[in-house]
Structure 1
């Protein structure tokens, strides 16, 4: 299995290279070897599982290679002994805080050991419903570079891209409605303030009470506030640092919170637009900021997670509660950490973490206990995004061996696997947004190299969906307690091989590239 792990690592590194905004001739040569490496991986997997079936694999038969790679992976997994579960996570001494949400007694805040018949019936019904679901896919074309962030506002989708633009799309017609050009650097993050706070700003600007606003953060160190109906920029906030994450605190007068590529968390008054707090909490880029009630969660490219309590009546609205380093979360601390990223989604005592590996981490932010939820059947998976909607946890997964992109669905709060949704030739998903339509159907938007709308078809629809619904039995296992994710160790024996990543790019271009990779994978 040593060469298989080495091929996994090289393919992972090539995928990271492809996200970089600038490539050297040597890096382009390495990328050109991707399909060759995938074919070799398929051959090895078949040799390990059934040597007699290795005949007839050809490099130009892409679909056959993908199918045989999947079959080979299944055979290897079925013949491989189960991985030993590490001991419990090291706990750090921190002040405990009481908040509403899920109250569980398991160490990492996972589901109870037993379920009643009612819960089991509800899960089976939900699973059966999703197994029969259909989705129509539509492409939104207009960006000239990677889409780094997406949000939904009513029937509109707002997307930000490395091409420095913010675009507004009308979803029912899949057309571009506005092109918001004003940033001089790539757009890294977006947020739509709640209606109440939009109304306050609209009155101050003598606009309609129904006006909506959108915030955008960029590598040019600016946060811009846009009028959604006209595309006009009504306010620019210079932050002195490249903005890598953005959110809004809907408490009191309201506050904008930004994260920088240098690890700062800063708070800005919604009324005065003045900075009222700045804390250098993280050692690396702040890649994600998420609010949950009176709490704020920040995640960094180094794998650390911080928890803050919000006191909007104080001059400094954020009070620090916990800081869990990468040694606790199991995220980050990899040799190619310059390309590290962390996305998070909080729920009660739990924080779901995606750090570019095959599994989701579940951190109990009170205790520091961590469990691992399988999001791919082997170490060739990459998890970039995680989010929640109406009792469903959704995580993206990109298969390095086949190039397929998948959305995996889990029921909440149990974290039990439901189904996987995939589309042939779908590119890697780097960001997504989701919401429910007036009829209760799901509508999602995914971004990366392509911007796609996923619209759920009615249950009685006779239209054929564009998405394949399947189940991967390897994901049925419940979360397991873990101190450190063993995925890093499974790939760490490749030191003698050529490193496909450029570690020390000369000049400012290398700094720009690594900053981008930290900023865009939120």
Structure 2
């Protein structure tokens, strides 16, 4: 496993290096070895997995089990001696038939009673069958000249932010660019679309149409800007004194904007006046993810720490910390150029965490209990983002060994694996947003190197979709305790440190310091 971990580390570094604006000669040499390293990793994983761990589909596994049962039955019939019944045995045979009939009647009565009780697996089975038949059409929206770092959606519009410093508005039905919002001088790192009722309040204060919708954007230029969706005009700009790496909107009371910085600071801004209400040094490193849920705010950082805050209206300092869990609990330590950054999606008492590993962490933020959800069939997977749709959890998974990217779907609240959606042309997914059409169909948008719209096709659509829906039996395991996973990651971290020492001693990795400093800037831009 030592060589596998070393290869995984090198490939993670290469994948992150490829997201940089420019490469040093040493970095370019490392990137040039990607194909060679990927081939070697795939070879080792195949050897370790064995034939029984080959990429299997549930249907194939069922056929295999049926064949085993049939073979067992044939084996028994070949070795069971034929017994001739005596004349008096027919009475015993009749008694057995009567008993069997009575048992059937009793069984039918019990089944009739049980039919009135809800079957816990019935809903899951129907949902799984529905997604196994799902068809999607993919459309790429061309216009950005650099990495797409964040996406949002309003009605038939998609809003995207990029490292190229622009925010773009797209009309989904026609796949055309409607607005190009230029004004930031640094890469756009985060977006949010406030609810309609809060947009009406700000529109009234600005003497605009009550139907106006707004977009909030944050950037490495230390500014938060508020734009009108109809005209693309910047109506407000707030200077935060720190590069903005994440933001969220609190849809409670008069409304608040919460921003996170590359230095770990959280700031609260009044929605209507844009006045600063509070600044708190919440984390030791960049705040890579923020989400609000009612009066609660969840923050995560590259320091591996997750904090839960309660917002009090009218207080001098609206944010009050309810809970804090460090990297020793979250398992999200060593978030550097190797593993990537932390993303979260909260639901009730649970926070789903994606930290660049092959599994999704599930933290009970009230108790600190941590579990893991399998999101990849081997340790060569990278989970970049996690998101929720009503009744569904969606996790992205990038395969270091093959370069394939997949969206894995899980049912909520059970967290049971449903299906994997993939396409041969699908690039690495760094951000995700979803909404429903008026007819109830799904529309998603994913960003990274490309901006891609996923549109679900109706069930009676005869042509084949652009996405393959399949099931990987190795993801069927439910939530598991995270102890084993933590030990494995600690072992991997130790192995990585040993490798770094060896490479430094040999003088083969002169650009390590540049990578660390470069990624510190990059992860800020990518969030």
Q: Does 1:516 align with 2:522?
A: yes
> What secondary structure, in the 3-state scheme, does the structure 2 residue paired with 1:43 have?
helix
Does the Cα contact within 8 Å between 1:302 and 1:341 map onto a contact in 2?
no
In structure 1, how many angstroms separate the alpha carbons of the residues matched to 2:374 and 2:337?
Answer: 22
Query: Root-mean-square deviation (CA), in Å?
Result: 2.2
The structure-2 alpha-carbon separation of the partners of 1:48 and 1:274, relative to structure 1 and needing over 3 Å to count, comes to closer
In structure 2, how many angstroms separate the alpha carbons of the residues matched to 1:319 and 1:47?
Answer: 52
The structure-2 alpha-carbon separation of the partners of 1:501 and 1:330, relative to structure 1 and needing over 3 Å to count, comes to farther
Question: How far 1:141 sits from its partner (Å)?
Answer: 0.5
The aligned counterpart of 2:452 is 452
The structure-2 alpha-carbon separation of the partners of 1:164 and 1:41, relative to structure 1 and needing over 3 Å to count, comes to same
In structure 2, how many angstroms separate the alpha carbons of the residues matched to 1:163 and 1:341?
Answer: 20
Residues 8-17 or 398-407, more deviating: 8-17
Q: Does 1:219 align with 2:220?
A: yes
In structure 2, how many angstroms separate the alpha carbons of the residues matched to 1:327 and 1:130?
Answer: 37
In structure 2, how many angstroms separate the alpha carbons of the residues matched to 1:348 and 1:145?
Answer: 36
The structure-2 alpha-carbon separation of the partners of 1:475 and 1:211, relative to structure 1 and needing over 3 Å to count, comes to same
Q: How many residues matched?
A: 460
Question: How far 1:12 sits from its partner (Å)?
Answer: 1.4
Question: How far 1:448 sits from its partner (Å)?
Answer: 0.3
Instruction: Give ranges in structure 2 of 5+ residues lacking alignment.
Output: 62-116
Q: Does 1:276 align with 2:285?
A: no
- Structure with greater helix share of residues: 2
Does the Cα contact within 8 Å between 1:252 and 1:313 map onto a contact in 2?
no
In structure 2, how many angstroms separate the alpha carbons of the residues matched to 1:486 and 1:395?
Answer: 23
The aligned counterpart of 2:433 is 433
TM-score (norm 2): 0.83
Does the Cα contact within 8 Å between 1:379 and 1:487 map onto a contact in 2?
no
Question: How far 1:490 sits from its partner (Å)?
Answer: 4.7
The aligned counterpart of 1:328 is 329
In structure 2, how many angstroms separate the alpha carbons of the residues matched to 1:169 and 1:347?
Answer: 29
Question: How far 1:482 sits from its partner (Å)?
Answer: 2.0
In structure 1, how many angstroms separate the alpha carbons of the residues matched to 2:282 and 2:44?
Answer: 45
The aligned counterpart of 1:462 is 462
Residues 330-386 of structure 1 deviation map (CA, whole Å, 9 limit, x = unaligned)? 11235x368641111111110000001000000000011100000001110000111
Q: Please list, as runs of the form range in 1=range in 2, the aligned pairs for 1:178-189 lying within 5 A after superposition.
A: 178-189=179-190
In structure 2, how many angstroms separate the alpha carbons of the residues matched to 1:302 and 1:501?
Answer: 25
The structure-2 alpha-carbon separation of the partners of 1:313 and 1:49, relative to structure 1 and needing over 3 Å to count, comes to closer
In structure 2, how many angstroms separate the alpha carbons of the residues matched to 1:456 and 1:327?
Answer: 41
Q: Does 1:165 align with 2:166?
A: yes
The aligned counterpart of 2:20 is 20
In structure 1, how many angstroms separate the alpha carbons of the residues matched to 2:56 and 2:23?
Answer: 32
The aligned counterpart of 1:133 is 134
Q: Please list, as runs of the form range in 1=range in 2, the aligned pairs for 1:13-412 lying within 5 A after superposition.
A: 13-48=13-48, 71=54, 118-333=119-334, 336=336, 340-412=340-412
The aligned counterpart of 1:57 is none
Residues 98-122 of structure 1 deviation map (CA, whole Å, 9 limit, x = unaligned)? xxxxxxxxxxxxxxxxxx8522110
Residues 494-503 or 284-293, more deviating: 494-503
Residues 314-323 or 437-446, more deviating: 314-323
- Greater RCO, CA 8 A, separation 6+: 1
The aligned counterpart of 2:421 is 421
Question: How far 1:486 sits from its partner (Å)?
Answer: 3.7
The higher radius of gyration belongs to 2
In structure 1, how many angstroms separate the alpha carbons of the residues matched to 2:458 and 2:376?
Answer: 29
Selected match of 1:505 from 491, 505, 514: 514
> What secondary structure, in the 3-state scheme, does the structure 2 residue paired with 1:200 have?
helix
In structure 2, how many angstroms separate the alpha carbons of the residues matched to 1:490 and 1:377?
Answer: 19
Does the Cα contact within 8 Å between 1:355 and 1:383 map onto a contact in 2?
yes
Residues 410-419 or 461-470, more deviating: 461-470
Question: How far 1:317 sits from its partner (Å)?
Answer: 1.2
In structure 2, how many angstroms separate the alpha carbons of the residues matched to 1:515 and 1:372?
Answer: 29
The aligned counterpart of 2:76 is none
> What secondary structure, in the 3-state scheme, does the structure 1 residue paired with 2:119 have?
helix
> What secondary structure, in the 3-state scheme, does the structure 2 residue paired with 1:504 have?
helix
In structure 2, how many angstroms separate the alpha carbons of the residues matched to 1:322 and 1:47?
Answer: 44
In structure 1, how many angstroms separate the alpha carbons of the residues matched to 2:390 and 2:265?
Answer: 32
Residues 35-44 or 463-472, more deviating: 35-44
In structure 2, how many angstroms separate the alpha carbons of the residues matched to 1:513 and 1:341?
Answer: 10
In structure 1, how many angstroms separate the alpha carbons of the residues matched to 2:182 and 2:491?
Answer: 44
Does the Cα contact within 8 Å between 2:391 and 2:413 map onto a contact in 1?
yes
> What secondary structure, in the 3-state scheme, does the structure 1 residue paired with 2:131 have?
helix
The aligned counterpart of 1:489 is 490
In structure 1, how many angstroms separate the alpha carbons of the residues matched to 2:338 and 2:265?
Answer: 17
> What secondary structure, in the 3-state scheme, does the structure 2 residue paired with 1:327 have?
helix
In structure 2, how many angstroms separate the alpha carbons of the residues matched to 1:362 and 1:518?
Answer: 24
> What secondary structure, in the 3-state scheme, does the structure 2 residue paired with 1:505 have?
helix
Does the Cα contact within 8 Å between 1:302 and 1:340 map onto a contact in 2?
no
Residues 260-269 or 475-484, more deviating: 475-484
Residues 159-192 of structure 1 deviation map (CA, whole Å, 9 limit, x = unaligned)? 0000000000000011111000100000000001
Residues 253-293 of structure 1 deviation map (CA, whole Å, 9 limit, x = unaligned)? 11110000000010001121110100001001001110111
